[in-house]
Amino acid sequence: MSNIKKRLLKEKIAKVAMQLSGITITGSLFFIIGTILYKGLPYLSWEMISQSPQGGFYIGKEGGILNAILGSLYLATCSTMLATLIGIPISIFLNIYVKSGTFLERSCKLLFDVLFGIPSIVYGAIAFSIMVWVGIRASLLGGIITITLLTIPIVVRTIDELLKTIPVDLKHVTFSLGATRWELAKIFLKYIKPGIFTAILLAFGRAIGDVAGVLLTTGFSDNLPKYIDEPAATLPLAIFFQLSSPIPEVQGRAYASALVLTFIILIIVICTHLLASKQQKHKI
Amino acid sequence: MNWRLIKDKLIQRSFATLLALSLIVIVLILLGLSFKSLPLLRAESFGAILTESVWSPLNGSFGFLPFIMGTIWVTFISLIISVPLCILASAYLVEYAGEALRRMVLPLVNVLAAIPPVLYGVWGVLFVVPFLSQYVAPIVGAETTGYTVFAGGIVLAVMIFPIMVSIMVEVLQTIPYELKAASLSLGATKWETIVKVILVKAKPGLIAAIVLGISRAFGETIAVLMVCGNIPQIPKSFFDAGYPLPALIANNFGEMMSIPLYDSALMFAALLLFVLIFGFNLISRLILNRLEGKS
Amino acid sequence: MNASIPHIQIKDLNVTIEGKRILKNINLSIPNNSITSLIGPSGCGKTTLLKTLNRLVDDTKGVEITGSVLVNGEDIYAKDAEVTHIRKKMGLLSQKPFPLPMSIFDNVAYGPRIHGEKNKQVLAQIVETQLRNVGLWHEVKDRLEASATRLSIGQQQRLCLARGLAVKPEIILGDESTSALDPVSTQTIENLLIELKQDYTIVLVTHILRQARRVSDYIIFVYDGEIIEFGKTDDVLLNPQHEITQQYVKGFIS
């Protein structure tokens, strides 16, 4: 084969390989969601989402997963709120109050960037040890604290990225009008408002799906969550504990939990997408 | 005194305090972990812990080698699978695909990132494990339950697709058009240009993406735990069960109270994980920051 | 090579990019073995015209091309035309030098290697010849393995020229190829191009009228996507026929 034909053939083969790779990667998303839909839909019923397990979550055949749904919602909502209340001020401080380019600013940002990647099991292990040392038992409160700590770097980093998109001139113009740094912060926050909601949603998604952080700190329970110092059920743990049960109804609860969790995540993703397109509207 | 200025100062102080508190928390975490690991380190040498292969806390032997090897095996397998796929797919998205295709595919890949690990675990148990034991193993002639490091690697590979693809695509998009034009003008095909010019120029960024993928794979607990078998042995083949480091911590916290030194060992495992991932993330971010500064 | 067939002939070329007409009904023949400069105000289409010659314009988003460009009598826009073969015939020197991410030697050897040359001695010979042609040999002969990015910008541009010459093109295209260089490097490149025109047909895009005068034999004035005037350098610059051309070169004349 002539040289040129050989090279063109190589390119054709490479192109097919590239397309297959792309299809594999995007396809895996549909594959995973599809599997969960397939297994979970048969078990999804009104009883399932409106009742808690009867007869013990490991062996009881009756009842549903309301305990886990509520537990997860409480946990994720509280931790996300706390993480937002702590994370946004930190990000504002680093970006507006601290002079940019200084060692403090760069190292703090790097630090939070890196913390972003620390796995939740590490946070869980530490929180558990502290809880043991102080004498708190596994409870909703423990879970909230752990997940909040876990989520703060996410909020800080997301807000950081958002603030980076603000044109520098806006800062100069506002300062030259005599505004204080806090007043500038308020303007910046208004500018990135849709983005803030995105950050909150992202944090919520992480909070609700996490297992390792709550495994050791929140415990599990059949009951609907009532007091903050009691163990509570969460969807991820419901899946984890009940998936390998030999009793089909118990397994069914695991599949249903997986399905509910997937729905929640998909809703979050769609909302994030809608907000992102809204963000474009106000861009200068 | 100007009220606005006072308010500004107050806010500065309080926000700074929040920052300081979080920094203190981080330091406390590191100190706490180190402190709690001390008893173990006093009982046995650092080197021995890392290279001993017997894990039998009841007998007082804490060899971490099986877990380190377990983590390395699943990470390695996930990289073999995902790195070529991600590079090829990213190259396609940037060099061949139109804007419309990119705008459709990239968000989908990001959805993968949003899926909680436990759901990956479910998929792993429902599909990957049976697939391996019923279809793949017979072809190779191995006997297995499917709960193997191979399964862990496959699940991990899918989990690190989004982070690697998104960074690789970003990096590839920064390659200046004129560089490609220079190669094309010499009569190179598009594929030759990709391999010899674009990927070479993008190498540091691609490596940073892979390093971030590695650190994600190292720390993933739940999904791998559900499919890898959890047997504290050093894996010798793809079809052996394994026991990565995060799974060790997650699985055994209940028992640690009764056995001496167990809690110290688990804390040490957590410290090890923290330091490793911290290090990888740091390196990767520094590379990416430097690239950003250059362009 | 048959001297009576013009090297490059453009017939009824129309280029539209995303609905906007960039080039309108271009008809011209580029004279062989000479330097032709395309001049005109920015945005008038001269760079697009250059890019149609080696079909780099194909890559632009939303581009539609009608008409034909004949190189040695063959239409490079024919349906079955092979693009890499065409591009090999054209050497491109772009505005900013873009050395490939490899050593000096590998940069020059890149083209020949791609097209099948594997013999190490042949490659070394080609590299030395081309580096000598552009006057770089003595400056780099001791560090051929060093990265090409270490060279000064003037050296890099000469390297890019050597790289382009290594694939034995027939035509050299230059897109404002000295605008990023200092005066001394500019002069070196200009002198090289004048030497090269004995063996190559050269088309340059430039916005510096003095350079056009120094270097070219022919000038094409492009305005708003159309060829307004085409002729010998001094004719166009000192005695333009059209009003628009007069306006454009006014600063030069006065």
In a domain, residue B95? The reply is yes
Instruction: Note the Cα C18 to chain centre separation in Å.
Output: 25
- CA nearest neighbour of B89 among B167, B203, B153, B193: B167
Question: What pLDDT sits at residue C254?
Answer: 41
pLDDT of residue C2: 46
Q: Are residues B270 and B227 in the same domain?
A: yes
From B164's Cα to the closest Cα of chain A, the distance in A is 11
Which of B185, B199, B206 to probe the C interface (max C CBs under 10 A)?
B185
Nearest Cα to B149, choosing from B141, B139, B157? B157
From A218, A249, A212, A199, select the one nearest A70 (Cα to Cα): A218
Of residues B122, B212, B250, nearest to A212 (C-beta): B250
Read off the pLDDT of each residue in B244-250 and give the average, rounded to a whole number: 86
Statement: residue A101 has pLDDT above 60: yes
| Cα within 13 Å of Cα(B270), Cβ side | 34
Chains with ≥3 Cβ pairs under 8 A against A?
B, C
Same domain, B24 and B150: no
Task: Report how far apart, in Å, the C-alpha atoms of B279 and of each of A152, B126, B222 are.
Answer: 20, 34, 22
Q: Is the pLDDT of residue A119 over 90?
A: no
CB contact under 8 A, A258 and B122: yes
- Per-residue pLDDT, averaged over A216-242, amounts to 83
> Is residue C3 domain-resident?
no
Q: What's the pLDDT score for residue C110?
A: 92
pTM of the entire predicted model:
0.83
Selected for mutation to probe chain A from C80, C83, C84 (highest A CB count within 10 Å) is: C84
Q: How far apart are CA A202 and CA A185, in angstroms?
A: 22
B33 and B73 in a single domain? The answer is: no
C155: enclosing H helix or E strand? helix C153-165
Q: How far is CA C100 from the centre of its chain?
A: 18
What SS3 state is found at C74? strand
Record the tokens describing residue A6, joined without a space.
Answer: 């050989």
Residue B95 and residue B14 share a domain: no
CB contact under 8 A, B219 and A254: no
Residue B57 placed within a domain = no
Three-state DSSP class for A149? helix
Q: How many domains does chain B have?
A: 2
Structure tokens at A124: 């869980």
Contact pairs from chain A to chain C, CB under 8 Å: 8
State the DSSP string of chain B: --HHHHHHHHHHHHHHHHHHHHHHHHHHHHHHHHHHHHHHHHHS-HHHHHH---EEGGGTEE--HHHHHHHHHHHHHHHHHHHHHHHHHHHHHHHTS-HHHHHHHHHHHHHHHHS-HHHHHHHIIIIIHHHIIIIIHHHHT----S-SHHHHHHHHHHHHHHHHHHHHHHHHHTS-HHHHHHHHHTT--HHHHIIIIIHHHHHHHHHHHHHHHHHHHHH--HHHHHHSB---S---STTS-B--HHHHHHHHTTGGGTSTTHHHHHHHHHHHHHHHHHHHHHHHHHHHHHHHHH-
pLDDT at site B160: 93
The nearest CA of chain A is from the CA of B261 a distance in Å of 14
Beta carbons of B281 and A208 less than 8 Å apart:
no
| Helical residues (DSSP H) of chain A, grouped into ranges | 3-40, 46-50, 66-92, 103-115, 120-134, 140-164, 168-176, 181-191, 193-209, 212-215, 235-242, 248-281
**Cα of B102 to nearest chain C Cα, Å:** 14
Convert the pLDDT of each residue in B158-190 to its tens digit: 999 998 999 999 999 989 988 998 998 888 888
Reading the block at residue A50, the tokens are 């409106």
User: pLDDT per residue over A11-55, tens digit each?
Assistant: 999 999 999 999 999 899 999 999 989 888 888 887 777 777 776
Q: What is the pLDDT of residues C169-222, one digit of tens each?
A: 889 999 998 888 888 888 988 999 999 988 899 999 998 888 999 999 999 999
Alpha-carbon gap: A46 to the closest alpha carbon of chain B (Å): 22
Specify whether B177 is located in the same domain as B212: yes
In percent, how much of chain A has pLDDT > 90?
17
Enumerate the residues of chain B whose CB falls inside 8 A of the CB of residue C87: 184-187
Query: Is residue C151 in a domain?
Result: yes
Token pair belonging to C95: 């505005």
- Partner-chain contact A22 B123, CB within 8 Å: no
Beta-sheet pairing, C226-232 with C218-223: antiparallel
Residues of A with CB below 8 A from C116's CB? 3
Nearest CA in chain B to A207: B116
End-to-end alpha carbon distance in chain C: 42
> B84-143, pLDDT tens digit by residue?
999 999 999 999 888 889 888 888 888 888 899 999 999 999 899 888 888 888 888 777
A205 has pLDDT over 60: yes
- Per the structure, the complete domain to which residue B88 belongs is given by 65-294
pLDDT at residue A59, as a whole number: 65
The 3 state secondary structure assigned to C187-242 is HHHHHHHHHHCCCCEEEEECCCHHHHHHHCCEEEEEECCEEEEEEEHHHHHHCCCC
Question: Quick check: B138 and A5 in contact, CB under 8 A?
Answer: no
Task: State whether residue B187 sits within 8 Å of chain C by CB.
Answer: yes
Mean predicted confidence (pLDDT) in C15-44: 89
Same domain, B77 and B150: yes
Q: Do C96 and B178 touch (CB under 8 A)?
A: yes
Between chains, do B85 and A129 touch, taking CB under 8 Å as contact?
no
Residue A248 in this model has a pLDDT that exceeds 90: no
Long-range contacts of residues B136-140, Cβ cutoff 8 Å, at least 24 apart: B137/B239, B140/B239
pLDDT band per the 50, 70, 90 thresholds, residue A131 = confident
A3, A7, A21, A150: best to mutate for the B interface, most B CBs within 10 A = A21
Q: Do A118 and B192 touch (CB under 8 A)?
A: no
In the structure, what pLDDT confidence band is assigned to residue B62 with cuts at 50, 70 and 90? Answer: confident
A262–B115 CB contact, under 8 Å: yes
Answer yes or no: is B53 within a domain. Answer: no
- Asked if the C-beta of A4 comes within 8 angstroms of chain C's C-beta atoms, the answer is yes
Q: What are chain B's partners, defined as 3 or more CB pairs within 8 angstroms?
A: A, C
CB of A3 less than 8 A from some CB of C: yes
Q: Let me know whether B153 and B239 are in one domain.
A: yes
Tell whether the torsion through CA atoms of A106, A107, A110 and A115 is positive or negative: negative
Q: Tell me whether B85 touches chain A (CB under 8 Å).
A: yes
Computed over every residue of chain A, the mean pLDDT equals 84
Residue C121's pLDDT is: 93
In a domain, B60, yes or no: no
Write the DSSP symbol of residue C31: P
Task: Give the domain CATH number at C214.
Answer: 3.40.50.300
Task: Say yes or no: B277 contacts chain C, CB-CB below 8 A.
Answer: no
Chain A hits for C115, CB-CB cut-off 8 Å, are 3
* Cβ-defined contact of B178 to C164 (cutoff 8 Å): no
Q: Looking at the structure, tell me whether residues B30 and B139 fall in a common domain.
A: no
**Does C1 fall in a domain?**
no
Residue C85 distance to chain A (closest CA, Å): 8
- CB-CB under 8 Å, B196 with C94: no
Chain B contact probe: residue of C50, C58, C89, C114 with most B CBs at under 10 A: C114
Residue A133 predicted with pLDDT over 90: no
Q: Does B291 touch chain A (CB under 8 A)?
A: no
pLDDT at B159: 92
Q: How confident is the model at residue A58 (pLDDT cuts 50, 70, 90)?
A: low
Residue C147 near chain B (CB below 8 Å) = no
Six-digit token pair at A206?
Answer: 């992480």
- Residue pLDDT, tens place only, A138-188: 888 888 989 998 899 889 988 988 888 888 788 888 888 877 888 888 888
A125: number of CA atoms within 13 Å, CB side? 36
Tell me if B59 is assigned to some domain. no
Q: B183, B186, B189, B192: best mutation site toward chain C, by most C Cβ within 10 Å?
A: B186
Task: Let me know whether B122 and B220 are in one domain.
Answer: yes
B178 with C100: Cβ contact below 8 A? no
Percent of chain B with pLDDT over 70: 97
Percent of all residues in chain C with a pLDDT value above 70, rounded to a whole number: 96
Chains in touch with C (3+ beta-carbon pairs under 8 Å) read: A, B
- What is the per-residue pLDDT across C115-149, written as a single tens digit (0 to 9) for each? 888 899 999 999 999 999 888 899 998 999 998 88
**Cα–Cα–Cα angle for B204, C116, C136, nearest 5°?**
65
Determine whether the interchain pair C114/A7 forms a contact, defined as Cβ–Cβ distance below 8 Å.
Answer: yes
With beta carbons under 8 A apart, name residues in chain C contacting B188: 84, 110-111, 114
How many angstroms separate the CA atoms of A215 and B227, rounded?
17
Chain B 209-248, residues with CB within 8 Å of chain C CB atoms: none
- The range of the structural domain enclosing residue C29 comes to 8-253
Q: How far apart are CA B129 and CA C156, in angstroms?
A: 56
pLDDT at C95 over 80: yes
- Pair B116, B258 in one domain: yes
Taking a C-beta distance cutoff of 8 angstroms, is the pair A14, A6 a contact?
A: no
pLDDT of residue B94: 92
Q: Which residues of B touch A26 (CB under 8 A)?
A: 105, 108-109
Q: Are residues B30 and B83 in the same domain?
A: no
Q: Which residue of B has its CA nearest to A132?
A: B257
Please check whether residue B55 lies inside any domain of the structure: no
- Rounded to the nearest angstrom, the gap between the alpha carbon of residue A154 and the centroid of all alpha carbons in its chain is 9
Residues A4, C114: C-beta atoms closer than 8 Å? no
More confident residue, A54 or B7: B7
Give the span between the Cα atoms of A18 and B190, in whole angstroms: 13
Number of domains in chain C: 1
Residue C192 domain-assigned (yes or no): yes
| B284 plus B143 within the same structural domain | yes
Question: Domain containing B197 — which CATH number?
Answer: 1.10.3720.10
pLDDT score, position A173: 81
Question: CA angle B121-B126-B128, nearest 5°?
Answer: 80
Q: How confident is the model at residue B294 (pLDDT cuts 50, 70, 90)?
A: low
